[in-house]
Amino acid sequence: MKISRLERAVDPKFQQLLLYQSYDLRSMELERKSMRLKKDLSELENRLAEARSERERQRADGKDRQKTLQLAELALRETESKLQKLERRRITNAAQTNALETEWKTLELKKIATEEECLRAMECCEKDQRELALRETEWETLTHFLELRREELKGQIVELENDQKAVRDMLDHLRKGIGKDWLAAYGTVRQTSLPPPYICPLDGLKCTGCHMHLPTNSLPSGNDSTLHRCEFCNRIIYRTNDDEREP
Q: Give the span between the Cα atoms of 2 and 8, in whole angstroms.
A: 10
With binding defined as CB under 5 A, does residue 194 bind Zn ion?
Answer: no
Q: Give the span between the Cα atoms of 236 and 227, in whole angstroms.
A: 7
Residue 221: CB minimum distance to Zn ion, A = 18
Q: Which of 240, 232, 241 is nearest to 189 (CA)?
A: 232
Q: In what order do the strands lie in the sheet with 206-207?
A: 206-207, 199-203, 236-238, 228-229
User: Positive or negative, the Cα torsion across 192, 194, 200, 206?
Assistant: negative
Taking only Cα atoms into account, the Rg of the chain, rounded to an integer number of angstroms, comes to 77
Whichever of 205 and 233 has its CB closer to Zn ion, that residue is: 233
Q: Pick one of 194, 233, 238, 243: the residue that binds Zn ion (CB under 5 A).
A: 233
With binding defined as CB under 5 A, does residue 202 bind Zn ion?
Answer: no
With binding defined as CB under 5 A, does residue 198 bind Zn ion?
Answer: no
| SS3 assignment, position 10 | coil
Whichever of 38 and 213 has its CB closer to Zn ion, that residue is: 213
CA 103-109-114 angle, to 5 degrees, is 115
The C-alpha torsion from 189 through 191 and 195 to 201, rounded to 10°, is: 20
With binding defined as CB under 5 A, does residue 189 bind Zn ion?
Answer: no
Are 39 and 33 a contacting pair, CB within 8 Å?
Answer: no
Whichever of 62 and 196 has its CB closer to Zn ion, that residue is: 196
CB count in 10 Å sphere of residue 236: 20
Q: Pick one of 209, 228, 236, 239: the residue that binds Zn ion (CB under 5 A).
A: 209
Are 218 and 231 a contacting pair, CB within 8 Å?
Answer: yes
| DSSP state for residue 217 in the 8-state scheme | G
Q: Pick one of 194, 199, 205, 210: the residue that binds Zn ion (CB under 5 A).
A: 210
Q: Pick one of 189, 207, 228, 239: the residue that binds Zn ion (CB under 5 A).
A: 207
Q: Which of 227, 138, 146 is nearest to 179 (CA)?
A: 227
Whichever of 79 and 192 has its CB closer to Zn ion, that residue is: 192
Whichever of 156 and 192 has its CB closer to Zn ion, that residue is: 192
With binding defined as CB under 5 A, does residue 236 bind Zn ion?
Answer: no
Whichever of 89 and 213 has its CB closer to Zn ion, that residue is: 213
Instruction: Show the site string, 10-49: x = touches Zn ion by CB under 5 A, - = not.
Output: ----------------------------------------
Number of residues that bind Zn ion (CB under 5 A): 6
Whichever of 186 and 232 has its CB closer to Zn ion, that residue is: 232
With binding defined as CB under 5 A, does residue 228 bind Zn ion?
Answer: no
Stretch that binds Zn ion, among 11-19, 150-158, 205-213, 220-228 (CB under 5 A): 205-213
Binding site for Zn ion (CB under 5 A): 207, 209-210, 230, 232-233
